[in-house]
Amino acid sequence: MSIKTKKTIRLTLSYAVVLVMFAIILYPILWIIGSSLNPGDSLSGSKMFPENATFKHYAALFDTSQSNYLIWYANSLKISISTMILSLILVSLTAYSFSRYRFVGRKNGLLTFLVLQMIPNFAALIAIFVLATVTKLIDTHLGLILIYVGGAIPMNTWLMKGYLDTIPKELDESAKMDGAGHLRIFFQIVMPLAKPIIAVIALFTFTAPFGDFILAKVLLRSGENYTLAVGLYDMISRQFGNQFTAFAAGSVLIAVPIALLFLVCQKYFISGLTAGGTKG
């Protein structure tokens, strides 16, 4: 078999694998979009390309007399944006400290973070619920934000520390010789160079709370405090709930802010993620 034939076979197999994976990913997306345009309320007869497509389900979601969808959307955005901002601040300071300074307990602290990031939040649901009850944070957005931020710190600290370790420390030393203090070095030298990993962590810490259901379901009680995941679940789980196509429409709209944030961070995403995997 000639070299040209081998290359052709490899290329064909590569494209075949890509097409199969693309179909696996794209099919459920097209199906849920088609379901959201279906004129009925049931998903049983939904088609990927419905004949009598309609946007009435989307209109119903934005009608405050029929649905609290806009309230749920605002709640999810508030929680996700707050989590993202607080996580970026805390993770940046923590990772910078572990990367640039040597202090007692540094290795043990990093090891603790490594262990903590292996434990998912839902594994401690009972403890989280009891703690939220004691601190009177049940049915509050603040309680959710604090849990999300705390859960985001260990893994993202390791990611950012790995990236900061790749930034030459000679830059810090040169800045110190010019009279720059620790905060000035952090904000004006290190952080601008860390934009790729900041974009990656921003995407991670926004996406996780925006689509979370388990923690939000455990802590939130009143309808006006529901997030999107809990609100949409309540829409179809209550007695005689049959708004499945409206549920599909609401699910499609969930992807909008995540897609926009991904497009904004796209140019940083790959470089930040790969660089953060270096050994610290």
Break the chain into its structural domains and give their ranges: 3-54, 67-275
**Any idea what DSSP says for residue 242?**
-
State the virtual CA torsion across 273, 276, 278, 280 in degrees, nearest 10: -170
Report which of 88, 92, 69 is spatially closest to residue 80, judged by C-alpha positions: 88
Superfamily of segment(s) 67-275: MetI-like (1.10.3720.10)
pLDDT at residue 113, rounded to an integer: 85
Cβ neighbours of residue 173 closer than 8 Å, sequence gap 6 or more: none
CB–CB of 278/162 below 8 Å? Answer: yes
Q: In the chain, which stretches have pLDDT less than 70?
A: 1, 41-47, 121, 239-242, 269-280
pLDDT at residue 75, rounded to an integer: 96
pLDDT at residue 145, rounded to an integer: 95
**Any idea what DSSP says for residue 222?**
S
| pTM: predicted TM-score of the whole model, two decimal places | 0.84
CA distance 259 to 267: 14
pLDDT at residue 29, rounded to an integer: 85
Q: How many CA atoms lie within 13 A of 16 on its CB side?
A: 6
Q: Is 262 exposed, middle or buried (0-12, 13-18, 19+ CB in 10 A)?
A: middle
